[in-house]
Amino acid sequence: MHTALGITYATAARFAAPQAIAFDAARADGSHFGPAAPQALDGPLGEIVPGMKVRDTDEQDCLTLNVWAPVSDEPLPVLAWFHGGSFVIGASSQPVYDGALLASEQQVVVVSVNYRLGAVGFLDARAFGGVANCGLRDAICALEWVRDHIASFGGDPARVVAFGESAGGGLVLHALASPAARGLLAGAIVQSGATFATLDEKRTALVVEALVDAAGLSEPAALRDLPIDELVKAQTAAIGPLLSSVGMMPFHPMVDDVLLLATPAEALANGEGAGVALVAGTTADEMRLFVDPSAAPPPRDRLVRRAARYLGVDETNAAPIVDRYAQALGTDDTNEIWRALFGDNEMQVPCRAVLEAHAPHGSTYTYCFTWSGPQVGSCHGIDIPFPFGNFVDGWDAFVGLDDDGRALSESMRASWAGFARTGDPGWPAYPAARVFGREVHDAPEHPLFGRLAPL
């Protein structure tokens, strides 16, 4: 096994596009991970699932990647990982993302990538001399590095599959939707990363305004010279006030008419990404991680009012939606009904939209991850360690690991590697679905998509 860590693939000034760095294999150290992108080090997101705390960050030197490459006489397929973290936290150096087991067991080359986060990665800086979508530009730049250099590690540049979870999956999906990524990917795996959160110019202008206010500055251009710790502090302070006007992820890829011409679903429907194989799936209870299960269930009429506000419909139309969910779930527990409705609208509906958009243009597959952790169910993020097989930093207890879980992990590793190898993950194409749970089986459709009609 050849392991090369902390390879610098690019450098970038603040709010500027990345500039690729020439790679010299003979001079690359490769013995330790590079620093992560600047981020809040003690925020609540770092506690939401195990092992997300990041300590080593550096704005100037964060654009690095890591390679795990088995020794082989034949070029091997490549899996390139992009970490999650709501586009504001995370690092490729987190132990759960170690690629050694996946690479050696499945005979694939594994790459993991750092990209810029938060305001540094996703602020629309065009109005004051910068660019938009810096973090997305980083991801595409890293994929260009893989195209140009992975052969020196025994990888096949014609069989590169990008994969990621949550924000990492969203980053992969936005890269697939960008004309700049044409020819870089044979496939993409999006784990709980399809959303309707892509920003537009109107909302990104609100983000700039809120960030400037939070930083106590008089003009956006002053953000260029703001010390990075103060910029990160300001971006954290700005997130709350932006929740109602922009959404839960104000630092997010946007349609900038340069790198990204349309939202992913629109771009894929128009044939962007044609010929690239796609796997996109979800967990069975995405929002359980974000909704307090111990809260007292609200009365039905209060839930109807909440659903009406959330879905943008009147209460007359919201009531039958709530009732249909109660029937589909076989419960009158309003907390459970709300969690399912909320999760479907945020994650299941966008996933289905992406699948429908891409299916006419390329091989398309979906799955539902139903493994249930002892306290968190099949929540968002519970699938993170399974494709890598690294149940470290408390992940074993979080997921309730046992022999069935180890077998499930092995099944996912084989499916992801098989997809990189052949473009086929080993189950029937969409609308059929693989169900990854205590038992792995195939279903005629994603088991949650049937309840989406009321939305």
pLDDT score for 450: 85
Q: Which of 118, 60, 87 is nearest to 237 (CA)?
A: 118
pLDDT score for 35: 97
Catalytic residue among 272, 286, 336, 346: 286
pLDDT score for 451: 85
pLDDT tens digits along 250-309: 999 999 999 999 999 999 999 999 999 999 999 999 999 888 878 899 999 999 999 999
**Which tokens in the block code for residue 219?**
């003009």
DSSP three-state, residue 176: helix
Residue 189 has, within 13 A of its CA and on its CB side, a CA count of: 28
314 and 386 part of one domain: no
160 has a pLDDT exceeding 90:
yes
Residue 166 appears among annotated catalytic residues: yes
80 and 11 part of one domain: yes
357 and 323 part of one domain: no
403 and 308 part of one domain: no
70 and 214 part of one domain: yes
The least confident of 60-69, 289-298, 317-326, 349-358 is 289-298
Residue 29's pLDDT band (boundaries 50, 70, 90)? Answer: low
The residue that leads in pLDDT, 290 or 157, is: 157
pLDDT score for 21: 94
**Which tokens in the block code for residue 221?**
């251009």
Q: Does any domain span residue 104?
A: yes
Residue 446 appears among annotated catalytic residues: no
Q: What's the Cα-to-Cα distance from 199 to each of 259, 271, 438, rounded to whole Å?
A: 13, 21, 37
Q: Does any domain span residue 62?
A: yes
Q: What is the mean pLDDT of residues 432-441?
A: 98
246 and 308 part of one domain: no
**Consecutive H or E run containing 19:** strand 19-20
Residues of the chain above pLDDT 90, percent: 92
26 has a pLDDT exceeding 70:
no
361 and 435 part of one domain: yes
Tell me the residue range of the domain where 354 lies: 2-291+346-451
Residues of the chain above pLDDT 70, percent: 98
Who's near 150: CB < 8 A, 6+ residues apart?
A: 67, 78, 109, 111, 156, 157, 160
27 has a pLDDT exceeding 70:
no
Cα four-point dihedral sign 247, 250, 256, 259: negative
28 and 132 part of one domain: yes
Q: What is the mean pLDDT of residues 202-230?
A: 97
Catalytic residue among 83, 149, 380, 446: 380
pLDDT tens digits along 135-148: 999 999 999 999 99
The least confident of 38-52, 190-204, 315-329, 368-382 is 38-52
Q: Does any domain span residue 425?
A: yes
Supply the DSSP string of 101-139, one letter for each residue. Answer: HHHHHHT-EEEEE----HHHHH---GGGT--S-HHHHHH
Q: Does any domain span residue 141?
A: yes
266 and 396 part of one domain: yes
Q: Does any domain span residue 215?
A: yes
Q: Does any domain span residue 51?
A: yes
318 and 386 part of one domain: no
pLDDT score for 41: 84
Q: Does any domain span residue 340?
A: no
Catalytic residue among 92, 112, 166, 409: 166
324 and 411 part of one domain: no
455 has a pLDDT exceeding 60:
no
Domain count, the chain: 2
189 and 328 part of one domain: no
Q: Does any domain span residue 339?
A: no
Average pLDDT of the chain is 95
Residue 361 appears among annotated catalytic residues: no
Q: What is the mean pLDDT of residues 230-248?
A: 95
Helices (H) and strands (E) in the chain, counts: 13, 12
Rounded CA separation 86/167 (Å) = 5
pLDDT tens digits along 398-409: 999 999 999 999
**CATH number assigned to the domain comprising residue 115:** 3.40.50.1820
Rounded CA separation 342/166 (Å) = 16
